[in-house]
């Protein structure tokens, strides 16, 4: 049983929290991380915060096997740091063909004015490593003896698990409009981050997927340059309490109100079966920490129902706070589990 989680806007929608919640709640057997260390996923659980750039957010369930997709990229120093921070020794598997970012890629990217200034790249060497991959000279995980204990065949592991009826959760990174193909080119990242791109990175065929959950935040944020309709001035953002900083770069995020047109397009591109809406408490403070639909203020319920009608897709998960447990799960009521 495969569930794919992807971002619907420009990243930072709260995928980390959603993936962490699902792996605990559904007792997921395997969680696979795609993408690269330019993407930071935050998990807050029982008073602790993790900011992850490689390890899947499903680490929070101690029984979940944690895999890194063949199409993903890692950096060795970040990998080992995160394995320690998440106490995940022994349950992390890296595909032999996962790409490895080296210092040269980071240096090349940071000295590239076009990428750093015009595009607003996070400067993590991801794009430059992807260039080397396309030129067929990037080193892969199998080229590093220190990775040997963790090497595996993710395609085999995942597809065998699917055949056995086990639960597999795929963690996408960034958001639909940062996709190399479907985003606001050239202000995009260096990979296709939509559901199909994510599946291709892992090595799962589209027919094996049961659910695609597209995650939207209650407002839109974007770091770096590029199209952001209805962008709010910083004073307004402060008044609203919507100030955010990038997980990886610490840059102030640009902010706009929820964008229905973009959301509709993201639902189409990803063939969403469900929608997750995060940070509802940022719009409706009384929603904070609520775990039942009926405890949400009426205004919040109306706002969510309107989006659901417009998107013609069930909103099944509603984030009401930072912690993994601060969520309203409507999947049972809506017939998904
Ligand atoms: P790059 O992928 O680091 O080259 O960055 C290209 C663009 O994508 C820049 O606007 C980045 O800010 C943005 N970007 C890359 N990764 C993330 C992410 O995880 N969250 C939000 N924006 C990102
Ligand atoms: Mg992020």
Enter the tokens of residue 332. 């049972």
Question: Would you state the pLDDT for residue 170?
Answer: 98
For the stretch 22-53, pLDDT in tens is 999 999 999 999 999 999 999 999 999 999 99
Question: Would you state the pLDDT for residue 71?
Answer: 98
**What's the gap in Å between 159 CA and the centre of ligand 1?**
30
For the stretch 163-201, pLDDT in tens is 999 999 999 999 999 999 999 999 999 999 999 999 999
Q: What percent of the chain has pLDDT over 70?
A: 100
Residues belonging to the active site = 12, 41
For the stretch 238-266, pLDDT in tens is 999 999 999 899 999 999 999 999 999 99
State whether the beta carbon of 190 lies less than 6 angstroms from ligand 1: yes
Rg of the chain taking only CA atoms, in angstroms: 19
Closest-CA residue, ligand 1 atom 19, reads 39
Question: Would you state the pLDDT for residue 204?
Answer: 98
Cα 188 to Cα 121: distance, rounded to the nearest angstrom: 9
For the chain, what's the residue count? Answer: 337
State whether the beta carbon of 189 lies less than 6 angstroms from ligand 1: yes
State whether the beta carbon of 127 lies less than 6 angstroms from ligand 1: yes
Band of the pLDDT at 211, cuts 50, 70, 90? Answer: very high
Task: Fill in the DSSP letter of residue 61.
Answer: S
Which residues lie across from 175 on neighbouring strands? 7
Cα 35 to Cα 65: distance, rounded to the nearest angstrom: 18
Question: Would you state the pLDDT for residue 38?
Answer: 96
For 226: left if phi > 0, alpha if psi spans -120 to 50, otherwise beta; the answer is: left
For the stretch 56-85, pLDDT in tens is 999 999 999 999 999 999 999 999 999 999
Question: Would you state the pLDDT for residue 66?
Answer: 98
Query: What is the atom index within ligand 1 of the atom nearest the CA of 38?
Result: 16
Question: Would you state the pLDDT for residue 292?
Answer: 98
Q: How far apart are the first and last CA of the chain?
A: 12
Question: Would you state the pLDDT for residue 226?
Answer: 95
CB environment 64-89: b (16+ within 10 A), e (fewer): bbbbbbbbbbbbeebbeebbeebebe
Task: Fill in the DSSP letter of residue 232.
Answer: P
Closest-CA residue, ligand 1 atom 1, reads 121
Write down the H helix ranges in 66-212: 76-85, 103-110, 113, 126-134, 154-163, 195-202
Ligand 1: residue of 111, 114, 190, 224 to mutate (most ligand atoms within 8 A of CB) is: 224
Band of the pLDDT at 231, cuts 50, 70, 90? Answer: very high
Closest-CA residue, ligand 1 atom 10, reads 224
* Angle of the 195-202 helix axis to the 154-163 helix axis, nearest 10: 110
> What secondary structure does DSSP assign to 178-201, as a single string?
G-TTTSSTTSS-SS--SHHHHHHH
Phi, psi of 175, deg, nearest 5: -140, 165
Ordered domains of the chain (ranges, CATH): 2-329 (3.40.440.10)
State whether the beta carbon of 38 lies less than 6 angstroms from ligand 1: yes
State whether the beta carbon of 101 lies less than 6 angstroms from ligand 1: no
Which residues lie across from 221 on neighbouring strands? 255
Question: Would you state the pLDDT for residue 235?
Answer: 96
């Amino acid at each position: 049983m495969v569930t794919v989680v992807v971002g619907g806007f420009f990243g930072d929608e709260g995928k980390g929290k959603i993936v962490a919640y699902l792996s605990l709640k559904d007792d997921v057997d395997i969680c696979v991380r795609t993408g690269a260390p330019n993407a930071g996923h935050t998990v807050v659980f029982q008073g602790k915060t993790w900011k992850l750039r490689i390890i899947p957010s499903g680490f929070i369930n101690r029984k979940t096997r944690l895999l890194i997709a063949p199409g993903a990229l890692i950096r060795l120093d970040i990998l080992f740091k995160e394995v320690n921070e998440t106490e995940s020794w022994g349950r992390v598997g890296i595909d032999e063909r996962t790409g490895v970012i080296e210092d040269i890629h980071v240096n090349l990217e940071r000295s590239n004015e076009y990428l750093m200034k015009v595009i607003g790249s996070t400067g993590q060497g991801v794009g430059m490593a992807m260039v080397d991959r396309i030129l067929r000279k990037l080193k892969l995980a199998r080229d590093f003896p220190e990775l040997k204990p963790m090497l595996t065949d993710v395609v085999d592991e995942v597809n065998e698990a699917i055949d056995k009826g086990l639960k597999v959760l795929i963690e996408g990174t960034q958001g639909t409009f940062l996709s190399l193909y479907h985003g606001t080119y050239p202000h995009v990242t260096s990979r296709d981050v939509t559901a199909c791109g994510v599946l291709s990175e892992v090595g799962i065929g589209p027919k094996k997927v049961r659910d695609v959950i597209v995650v939207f935040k209650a407002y839109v944020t974007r770091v770096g340059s590029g199209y952001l309709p209805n962008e709010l001035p910083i004073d307004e953002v402060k008044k609203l309490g919507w100030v955010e900083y990038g997980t990886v770069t610490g840059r102030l995020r640009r902010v706009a109100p929820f964008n229905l047109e973009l959301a509709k397009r993201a639902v189409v591109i990803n063939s969403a079966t469900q929608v997750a809406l995060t940070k509802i408490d940022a719009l409706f403070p009384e929603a904070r920490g609520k775990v039942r639909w009926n405890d949400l203020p009426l205004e919040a319920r109306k706002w969510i129902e309107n989006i659901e009608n417009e998107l013609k897709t069930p909103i099944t998960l509603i984030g009401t706070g930072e912690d993994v447990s601060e969520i309203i799960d409507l999947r049972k009521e809506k017939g998904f589990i």
